[in-house]
Amino acid sequence: MPQNVPEFRFSDDALRLRQFLYEHWCAHGRGPNLRAAHQATGLTRERLIEVYRELDLGLICTVDHATQNCNLLKLQPFSSYPSQVEVFVGGKFHSWAGCAMESVALSRMPPFAGKEVRLESYCACCLAPVSLATRDGDIVSRVPEPVLIHVSTSPREWNTTNIVCMCDSMNYVADAEHAGRRARAPLRAADLPPRRPLHARAGAPLRRRHGGEPDVALRLAAGARRARAHHRGDQGARGGREQLGRIASMASTPAHGAR
């Protein structure tokens, strides 16, 4: 789904497919393939793909538009592929959550009413375990107690082509100190040329490669304004820090509305 999609109403076919997708995913912990969707809805292959694209445009699911089978990557709040949050229902692995933000809302889905939905995740900075028990939208217990959700992108970066990168940037952290540490790791791996460091110690001397530009991470650590302006990842990290307080209070009262 791109940004700035005008308001529209889903077709009846889209609503039928949406209902089937949610029921199937809650029952099985994974999405259906095209044949299963065809058997459940009676829609032809061509119509199914049109309707999947309609649901994607309305932010219900995320499909790979370039694939002939319209591969289903996500059905918010679920992910088809391993994500940062494992979901357990009744003590058994159920599914992957779409992201940390989606995971706190997951226990409000009608098929999970009254059930304990346990979220197993980790701190984005140090990979220490994070565990939350949720029920009917409430967080029943959390380990560690001060756990937060860290958002390392700006809303300006969300939904540029789809929500995969947005969800990737919404992660649990052990506490505010770990959030700060994560926020100070300013560049995503994808932004870095190979063999450059992800982290630099504060006050470390600028090191130059081949007599040229200093390493990007070191320039950021030295606080060079020019470097900040050139690297959106850093803007995102700072935006994430500013959002932390708000996100933390959302996480404790998990009505979704995160997006």
List interacting residues with Zn ion (CB under 5 A): 123, 125-126, 174, 178
Specify the pairing of strand 92-97 against strand 129-135: unpaired
Calpha distance 99→77 (Å, rounded): 7
CB of 233: closest distance to Zn ion in angstroms? 19
29/180 with CB nearer Zn ion: 180
CB of 110: closest distance to Zn ion in angstroms? 34
Calpha distance 26→40 (Å, rounded): 15
CB of 172: closest distance to Zn ion in angstroms? 9
55/174 with CB nearer Zn ion: 174
CB of 120: closest distance to Zn ion in angstroms? 16
CB of 127: closest distance to Zn ion in angstroms? 7
5/128 with CB nearer Zn ion: 128
Kindly report whether the peptide bond that precedes residue 144 is cis, defined as omega within 30 degrees of 0.
yes
For residue 54, CA distances in Å to 141, 212, 238 come to: 38, 49, 34
2/129 with CB nearer Zn ion: 129
Calpha distance 198→224 (Å, rounded): 17
Torsion of CA 67, 68, 69, 75, to 10 degrees: 40
31/240 with CB nearer Zn ion: 240
